Amino acid sequence: MNAIHNLSQLLEQSQCQFKIFDLGRRIQAIDNKEFKQVEMGQKPYPYPLQRHANLAVAYWNDKHQPWIWFLKFPLDERGLLNQTDIGNFLKYVTEAFSVKSSGALLSQELTEEQQQHLANNPYTFKPNDDKMAVFHSLIRADLGLPTSQYYEHAQHYFSGDLGWSHWQTVGLQGITDICSRLNSEQNGVLIRKALTNMAAEPNAQPALYALLGALEHVTLTDKLAERLAELTKQECQLSQPDLFLISAYVRALSGAHSDYLEPVLETILAKPELSHTEVLIAIAGRCWAQLNTEARAGKFLLRLAQTKNQNLFNQLFADLVMIPDLRFTFLPLLSHTPSPELANALYALQQQTKSGQ
């Protein structure tokens, strides 16, 4: 076999099927061809978070039982992966499988010692429990594998039969199983109807937040997106809106078609009182794709400047400008903005950047 220079080669030569996912922002697949270009330094990583690529690499054989690596690689100032980091990780893999860069058959079972060797490297990381649950549900749904033991009970709860306040016995994995299968067994309809009832029941808030958290990482049906948009706008119109709930709604809407998401963002950005830091963090972390116009990017940065939290402003601006699709939307704002508040925040950002060099 040929020498192995990147993960894609290793997986291809090992006769495995595989998928690459970003886990830094929304859980979303990265096209295998695009990922190979990223590995070869031909294009920047598409979804950077704090100048890192947070990856899940899932690979499987004909039995469709996946093996998964969770990997985190630093990015340079252009958003490119460091080839040395990729090479170093490949060394850990080949050493764990006791082969020499020659296309190990990754589908072989690892001993406990091999697993420990592979895990003991600086590039692996553990996602938080919520994201881990969503990812496992998504990959199992993608491969047609059975749901968890908590699935049917979660369906029973969201049907309303158990009473909305009786959420304590509902397992998170059951909730993520439903959300990863919105187009199966009328789950999308079930969730859409449940949302209205749960929003009206204060004692159901823990389950509502868990549900919204799972919806962050899936593609929404139009009717479900419409319902979430309605609930978000209703909350925004209250004299004392729950800003944390609005943040959770915004995150959940990140998988909606822009026809539903963009009007919600415009509603929020039109009112300074709705632009709480948690809401702005939600927009930057999950709905960044909608900040691709100079007008909306400017509105977002203005609201961020108005929080008077310069450190957060600097962090989110630096994070967003690293996203390839947003770089040329945000960079021009450094030299042209009609708002004195935003101009002052951008000036402070530039001064801090210069002092840090």
The phi and psi torsions of 179 (rounded to 5 degrees) equal -65, -30
pLDDT for the residue numbered 11: 87
- The structure's pTM equals 0.92
Q: Point out which residues pair with 58 in neighbouring strands.
A: 19, 68
For the segment 213-237, the average pLDDT, to the nearest whole number, is 97
Q: pLDDT tens digits for 305-355?
A: 999 999 999 999 999 999 999 999 999 998 877 788 999 999 899 887 776
For the segment 113-129, the average pLDDT, to the nearest whole number, is 82
CA distances for 135 relative to 45, 55, 106, 130, 176, angstroms: 20, 11, 21, 9, 9
- Which segments of 65-126 does DSSP mark as H helices, in order? 83-96, 112-119
Residue 99 has pLDDT above 60, yes or no: no
Looking at residue 49, the DSSP 8-state letter turns out to be: B
Residue 44 pLDDT class (50, 70, 90 cuts) = very high
For the segment 108-133, the average pLDDT, to the nearest whole number, is 80
The neighbour count for residue 57, using CB atoms within 10 Å, is: 19
Residue 150 has pLDDT above 80, yes or no: yes
Closest C-alpha to 215, from 288, 308, 154, 130:
130
Q: pLDDT tens digits for 291-310?
A: 999 999 999 999 999 999 99
Looking at residue 166, the DSSP 8-state letter turns out to be: -
- Lowest model confidence (mean pLDDT) among 29-38, 120-129, 155-164, 186-195: 120-129
